[in-house]
Structure 1
Amino acid sequence: MNTSITKGSRNFYGEYSLEQWIKLILTKEIILPDYQRAFVWEEEDVKELITSLKNGLFVPPITIGNYDGTTNYILDGQQRLSAILIAYIGLFPDREKFKFKDKEYTSTANENDDLEDDNEDIMPIEWQFKYFTKDGQDKQSILDKIDHSKPVGGINQ
């Protein structure tokens, strides 16, 4: 995945390893802007991404923006980065525990969301990787503090 990360006034371009992406997420060097949608991928989507990465298949780039000189915002690629973090942690968010209530979901929708056609089985869940990063900056500290997820095939499997 190619990207540019800005630190202060410096740009960092190039391919990042999975370990580098995970470190950037866990140390909060890249964050999600508040306007980013909730996580919508299914467990199978996470597994397919990890398989694609393992097989060297094309994965679209991640786009990062820096507007205040200090904060690196994920503009595109939140679903992919969240999936990478989920695989690293080895837990998939439990949809029942993170399910939006209808009123909450409607309040997060924008003009691109077709609420009439939404199927409850594929509804977004009220989860972003901020959920994991609030609990720690490494895998063990996160695992020690969470219990709202179910095991999923991880990066190291």
Structure 2
Amino acid sequence: MGVLGKMEVEVDIKCSGDVFHQLWGTKPHHICSITPHKIQGCQVHEGDFGQPGSIVLWNYSLEGENCTAKVIVEAIEEENKLVRFKMIEGSILKEYKSFTTTLQVVDKAEITAVKWTVEFEKFDDYGPYPNKIMDFIIAITRDIEAHHLKD
């Protein structure tokens, strides 16, 4: 059995948190036009955008490498402003036995944060932690924020 892990990061943002929830939950294909140097494609393979149980294929670049991620949308919760994706195929599963990403908008007193949680199972004790993936997620969050602050 591998090692189970969980990493979280909260990124304070200056734009509306609803933008993030809506983008990732119902319009993820729009993210490609916001950050094309990181995410090049988003296609629904089964179901519909915005529906739990749908299967979505992402094409992205991580540290100069072209990668794919086929995910199942496990949850879209309007009341909690939460979206969860579970990886079912793709580049990340070469390094991890399982990988789930959750995005949640957290409204604080004067600011809003986007909380990202990755839960993973490493193949063994010596496998890598997903630090480069967390850096990638933070960079995408900043790109989306900058795009919406321009509008």
TM-score, scaled relative to structure 2: 0.27
TM-score, scaled relative to structure 1: 0.26
Q: Quick check: which has more Rg, 1 or 2?
A: 1
Structure with greater proportional strand content: 2
